[in-house]
């Protein structure tokens, strides 16, 4: 294979700001086409990035462009239909997070990938960040011992998306958790080695999103806000580990922050910023790296390279579809637990 032919489904912000620039920066890629039913968006993106193939219907793009891979950048509701269609036409798929609206859709996507012997991976780009890659090396070395507790925060003091369809549950499937919290959830699961979750207990709220409020990202459509602005959850795993997770789009806390902290029998580790915590020599100590590889300002570069390498060289993508499904299983259980008022067994 010479250059990998890539197409884009959906020309909104995530395509413009991450995927298209990242793939066009890759010397092994020809980004040949894009599709979007909104003609103005398609024309704007096509002109801005010099994309020749432009289609209002992704089915037509799949049929005509002889694509090796496609990137699904649509609202969540359309992830599964577009991905399954591409896979059934023999096209490898990188789907934006979350994988799907629910586990049923996610399993159908995996079935299509397996039936057609094609790659299905999901855009959890935090795995390509330098601190996460370093943390994975440390944990896999055994330095922490058995990791039995992880605390995850993805908190915005105010950061409700004011564009697109983010506040509509019937299109996105949820709010802060499915949009924002999935990144840190996936990262924590990846660092833990993706143990099997067995129970989830959660609560959620809509206290701040349903009325006008301060928001540096602009005024959102609070009259149609049908998703959660905050989630708190507790997850138990088959290997005895536990996870405390909280995420928000809007919460009255001192500052926005993203943290992942793991505690093991021999040491602990904080990811952002990277720090290892120990008790040794009769003292409480910690160490931080004196030097690390400079973090790429756009982790989409590594994500695109990973997908292209898997297509071109027959490799395994960093994010396995089964791991992405685990995230969807937990998010679905979080929503079901909050609605039911009790823990959900998986």
CATH superfamily for domain 129-294+328-345? Dihydrodipicolinate Reductase; domain 2 (3.30.360.10)
- pLDDT value for 297: 78
Helices (H), the chain: 13-14, 20-24, 39-49, 58-64, 79-88, 103-116, 130-140, 169-172, 176, 182-192, 300-313, 321-340
1 falls in which pLDDT band (50, 70, 90)? low
Averaged pLDDT, 314-336: 97
- pLDDT value for 299: 87
Whether 294 shows a pLDDT value over 90: the answer reads: no
Distance CA 280, CA 241 (A): 24
Distance CA 82, CA 90 (A): 13
Averaged pLDDT, 159-170: 94
Q: ω into residue 273 within 30 of 0, thus cis? A: yes
Distance CA 107, CA 321 (A): 9
Averaged pLDDT, 219-239: 97
Whether 71 shows a pLDDT value over 70: the answer reads: yes
Averaged pLDDT, 209-218: 94
Q: Look at residue 275 and give its three-state secondary structure.
A: strand
Question: Which residues belong to CATH 3.30.360.10 in the chain?
Answer: 129-294+328-345
Averaged pLDDT, 259-264: 98
Averaged pLDDT, 280-292: 95
pLDDT tens digits for range 82-126 = 999 999 999 999 999 999 999 999 999 999 999 999 999 999 999
Find residue 262's DSSP bridge partners: 150, 269
Question: Which residues belong to CATH 3.40.50.720 in the chain?
Answer: 4-126+299-317
**CA dihedral (215, 132, 27, 52) positive or negative:** negative
Q: Is 3.30.2310.20 the CATH number for 4-126+299-317? A: no
Averaged pLDDT, 253-257: 97
Averaged pLDDT, 193-203: 98
pLDDT tens digits for range 48-68 = 999 999 999 999 999 999 999
What integer best gives the mean pLDDT of the chain?
96
Averaged pLDDT, 258-283: 97
Whether 73 shows a pLDDT value over 80: the answer reads: yes
């Amino acid at each position: 294979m010479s250059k990998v032919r890539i197409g884009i489904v959906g020309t909104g912000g995530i395509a413009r700001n991450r995927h298209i620039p990242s793939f066009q920066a890759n010397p092994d890629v020809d980004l040949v086409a894009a599709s979007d039913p909104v003609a103005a968006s398609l024309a704007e993106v096509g002109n801005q990035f010099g994309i020749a193939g432009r289609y209002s219907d992704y089915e037509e793009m799949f049929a005509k462009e002889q694509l090796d891979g496609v990137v699904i950048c649509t609202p969540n509701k359309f992830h599964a239909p577009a991905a399954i269609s591409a896979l059934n036409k023999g096209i490898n798929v990188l789907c934006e997070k979350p994988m799907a609206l629910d586990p049923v859709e996610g399993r159908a996507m995996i079935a299509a990938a397996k039936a057609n012997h094609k790659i299905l991976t999901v855009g959890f780009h935090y795995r390509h960040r330098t601190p996460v890659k370093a943390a994975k090396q440390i944990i896999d070395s055994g330095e922490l011992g058995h990791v039995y507790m992880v605390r995850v925060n993805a908190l915005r003091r105010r950061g409700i998306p004011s564009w697109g369809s983010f506040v509509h549950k019937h299109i996105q499937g949820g709010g802060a958790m499915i949009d924002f919290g999935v990144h840190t959830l996936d990262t924590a699961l990846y660092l833990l080695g993706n143990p099997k979750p067995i129970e989830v207990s959660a609560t959620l709220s809509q206290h701040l999103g349903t009325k006008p409020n301060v928001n540096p990202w602009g005024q959102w459509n609070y009259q149609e806000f049908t998703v959660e602005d905050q989630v708190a959850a507790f997850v138990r795993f088959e290997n005895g580990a536990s996870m405390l997770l909280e995420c928000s789009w809007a919460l009255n806390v001192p500052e926005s922050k993203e943290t992942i902290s793991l505690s093991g029998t021999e040491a602990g580790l904080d990811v952002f910023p990277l720090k290892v915590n120990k008790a040794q020599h009769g003292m409480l100590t910690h160490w931080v790296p004196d030097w690390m590889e400079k973090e790429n300002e756009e982790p989409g570069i590594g994500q695109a390279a990973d997908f292209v390498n898997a297509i071109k060289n027959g490799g395994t993508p960093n994010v396995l579809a089964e791991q992405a499904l685990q995230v969807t299983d937990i998010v679905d259980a979080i929503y079901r637990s909050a609605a039911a008022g009790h823990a959900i067994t998986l």
